[in-house]
Structure 1
Amino acid sequence: MSNNTTRFSDRVEDYVKYRPHYPAAILSLLADVYGFNTGWAVADIGAGTGISTELFLRNGNRVYAVEPNREMRTKAEELLGSYPGFVSVDGTAGATGLHDGCVQLILAGQAFHWFDPVKSRAEFARISSPGAVVALVWNERMMDSEFEKEYEALILQYAGEYRTVNHRNIDQLQIESFFSPAKLRLDRFDNEQLFDLPGLTGRLLSSSYIPKDNQEMMKALAALFARHAKEGKVRVGYDTKLYTGVIRPGA
């Protein structure tokens, strides 16, 4: 398996089409709790193809989309380049290339589990203006329905690396340690996707730990879909978790 920077290089199109977006209610939460507004500059660290970036660009914010993977960064530039607030940056969580104190919000969508926590915390503190907010967000796949449980079992069966790179390996104590001594806040939102079989296939293949050419896996996925589809669709539910805090108190 390729290293963490290049592992998504051959997944870009599936990532764009089939990964879940983030609830717009996140913007309202940040506004209500922290006073977030359109004047805030945002650094989206590990921005990928720009799924989380676009949420804030649509809100009217200036967003520095920091992404080390060339293929994903190029796709974000293609999709989001028309937004006046979009700034593409070739950088990492530990070396963003941004100026000191330049942003009021640092965001990591579905990315923090790839970061070096020590280097990234120091870098976040450097680029933050006093009182800046850090927001870590994950769309965590639910496993409540029979379909969701069997889908998880399929991944466990065919993706040997899943257990080691799954973002669930980052627990709340590790996140609290990252923010310490600042207080950590956790908010949760409901989210979902509805897929036909091609969509479910694309969603599966968008994950870097999934083998791309396993015909046995594809047959198992088709059988899983056939068992559970209603009106030609299956539902993938998500618990969107938003961790926020201020790691550099205001002056």
Structure 2
Amino acid sequence: MSNLKSTERFSDRVEDYVRYRPDYPTALLDWLRDAHGVAADWPVADVGAGTGISSKLFLDAGHRVMAVEPNAAMRTAAERWLADYDRFDTTDGTAAATGLADRSAGLISVAQAFHWFEPESTRTEFRRILRADGLVAIYWNSRRLTGIPFLEGYEKLLLEYGTDYVSVAERYADDAFMQRWFGQGYRGTAHFDHSQRLDFDELRGRLMSSSYAPKPGHINHEPMMAALRVLFDACADEGRVSFDYDTRVYVGRFE
């Protein structure tokens, strides 16, 4: 993990991250409530909260949220964006050392950041901060790689021009890993359709929000931008492309 600099690699991409990264479907929140009894009065520890996209999902549903985020630029962006929510606070912490009190979280929320965490130290810390009747929800938007020419072309573009794309992409967990990670406390999983409709400028911003997209000045940046333009022009419908995801969520506790 250390060679990927997980707590630093998004510092120069914050504005693109805020503007162009997808949110999460409200069906995920409905499932947590209907299938697992998560109520609006459960305090949420949103670990690896980034710029606050996942925190906003729970704030809008009435939860009190403590966002744990080690990257100062991303944490500041979350504080600025969500300043109007009086039930929102942030703290400088990591998955292995959140700084939160024992048994303080009704729900531990981890969105896109989970694949950066060290599994064993994270589980130890989550066990400490989770109350006895609480739950952990791990979820992320998994970009679809096939099905339509745009998605297949975008994957090819990342493989050709991305800096460490393969190393990052291979870090996403599968169902078997998540079941082992939760152990006997595993409670279930669900998948939801999700998508963004993006014009070219939005698509460019979405690409540049990714830590493996080479920045201006890198030898691969201009060729990547040219290839993105060609791909967009070939696939756009009424000036937009569909950037499609499967949103995966895993729920459990520690027993």
Structure 1 unaligned segments of length 5 or more: list them.
none
Distance 1:37 1:25 in 2: 15
Distance 2:38 2:76 in 1: 28
Does the residue aligned with 2:186 lie in a helix, a strand or coil?
coil
Distance 1:39 1:26 in 2: 17
1:1-251 map, 5 Å: 3-143=5-145, 144-166=147-169, 169-213=172-216, 214-248=221-255
Q: Deviations over 1:193-249 (max 9, x none)?
A: 01111000000000001101211110000000000011100001110001111224x
Does the residue aligned with 2:98 lie in a helix, a strand or coil?
coil
Identity of aligned residues (%): 48
Displaced runs of 4 or more, over 6 A: none
8 Å contact kept, 2:137–2:250: yes
TM-score (ref. length: structure 2): 0.94
Q: Deviations over 1:85-105 (max 9, x none)?
A: 101010000000000000110
Distance 1:160 1:13 in 2: 20
| CA-CA distance at 1:167 after TM superposition | 5.7
The amino acid that maps onto 1:149 is E
Does the residue aligned with 1:81 lie in a helix, a strand or coil?
coil
The amino acid that maps onto 1:23 is P
Distance 1:183 1:126 in 2: 17
> How many corresponding residue pairs?
248
Distance 1:83 1:236 in 2: 30
Distance 1:197 1:13 in 2: 17
| CA-CA distance at 1:172 after TM superposition | 2.1
After superposing the two structures, state which structure 1 stretch, 167-176 or 36-45, moved more.
167-176
| CA-CA distance at 1:178 after TM superposition | 1.1
Structure 2 unaligned segments of length 5 or more: list them.
none
8 Å contact kept, 2:68–2:90: yes
Distance 1:192 1:206 in 2: 16
8 Å contact kept, 1:132–1:247: no
The amino acid that maps onto 2:229 is A
| CA-CA distance at 1:181 after TM superposition | 2.0
| CA-CA distance at 1:175 after TM superposition | 1.4
| CA-CA distance at 1:38 after TM superposition | 1.2
| CA-CA distance at 1:173 after TM superposition | 2.0
The amino acid that maps onto 1:68 is P
The amino acid that maps onto 2:95 is A
Distance 2:20 2:191 in 1: 21
8 Å contact kept, 1:113–1:167: no
Does the residue aligned with 1:112 lie in a helix, a strand or coil?
helix
8 Å contact kept, 1:42–1:107: yes
8 Å contact kept, 2:163–2:214: no
| CA-CA distance at 1:184 after TM superposition | 4.0
Q: CA RMSD in A?
A: 1.2
Residues 110 and 96 (structure 1 numbering): CA distance in 2 closer, same or farther, change over 3 Å?
same
Q: Deviations over 1:92-121 (max 9, x none)?
A: 000000000001100111011000101000
The amino acid that maps onto 2:161 is Y
TM-score (ref. length: structure 1): 0.96
8 Å contact kept, 2:50–2:69: yes
